[in-house]
Amino acid sequence: MDKVKEIFAAALKLFVEYGFHGTPTSKIAQEAGVANGTLFHYFKTKEDLIIALYIDTKTRLAQHLIENVLPETTLKARLKNRYLQVMYWAVEHSTEFRFIQQFHTSPFLSRLSAEEMYRQMKPDLDLIEEGIAAKIIKPRPIDFIFSLFSNHIYGLNQYLISANIPAAEQNKLIEDTFELLWGMIT
């Protein structure tokens, strides 16, 4: 494992457990088994580390979607498949997904470049725009519909974590909640 991956693994664990402000860089370096100077060799500031870790985590989620989203024919099937794959990834990678949620509710989100934000959201925004143009999805602002999807996913993930539901029931609940969301936007 290279040093950056070790730093990312340590930072991920500690940020989720103690929060961004409750995790000093010295603790991250210690957890990663590197010198504090080594951490700063790769990341000038803790903020740079947080943003780099977020981009890395979102990139791995995007790669999962590329590898697992099926080429469905209907808009509903394509959106559902993306939704299901995000939820399955979130359940399987709970620490990473909690970090994503934590980042989205932090001031660090505003420090992410507009280009990076757009790059991450583009596949979903394109599907929503296609649905609105085809008069399948209600004519509402695209970013609003995207927010409904995002918040729905975050809320369901929080529920699954707190309710401690068996895996088979989780999958059924994930499928059912897509139908609730679909009914709301169409």
In the chain, where the domains are located:
1-44, 47-185
**More confident position, 124 or 1:** 124
Contact 75, 127 (CB under 8 A): yes
Nearest to 97 by CA among 112, 85, 113, 108: 85
Domain 47-185 carries which CATH code?
1.10.357.10
Nearby residues of 170 by Cβ (< 8 Å), 6 or more positions away? 91, 160
The token duo for 8 is: 């990312």
Burial label for 125, CB within 10 Å (0-12, 13-18, 19+), is middle
Residue located via tokens 């505003």: 110
- Percent of the residues in the chain that have a pLDDT greater than 70, as a whole number: 99
pLDDT recorded at residue 70: 81
Write down the pTM of the prediction. Answer: 0.91
Averaged over 65-79, what is the pLDDT?
89
Contact 145, 128 (CB under 8 A): yes
Residue located via tokens 């099937």: 77
Looking at the domain 1-44, which fold is it?
Answer: Arc Repressor Mutant, subunit A (1.10.10)
pLDDT at 77 over 70: yes
Contact 58, 120 (CB under 8 A): yes
Q: How confident is the model at residue 1 (pLDDT cuts 50, 70, 90)?
A: low
Q: How confident is the model at residue 72 (pLDDT cuts 50, 70, 90)?
A: confident
Give the DSSP letter of residue 36. H
pLDDT recorded at residue 83: 95
Mean pLDDT of the chain: 94
Nearby residues of 126 by Cβ (< 8 Å), 6 or more positions away? none
The span from the CA of 40 to the CA of 65, in Å, is 32
Point out the least confidently predicted range of 4-18, 49-63, 107-121.
107-121
Number of C-beta neighbours around residue 121 at 10 A: 15
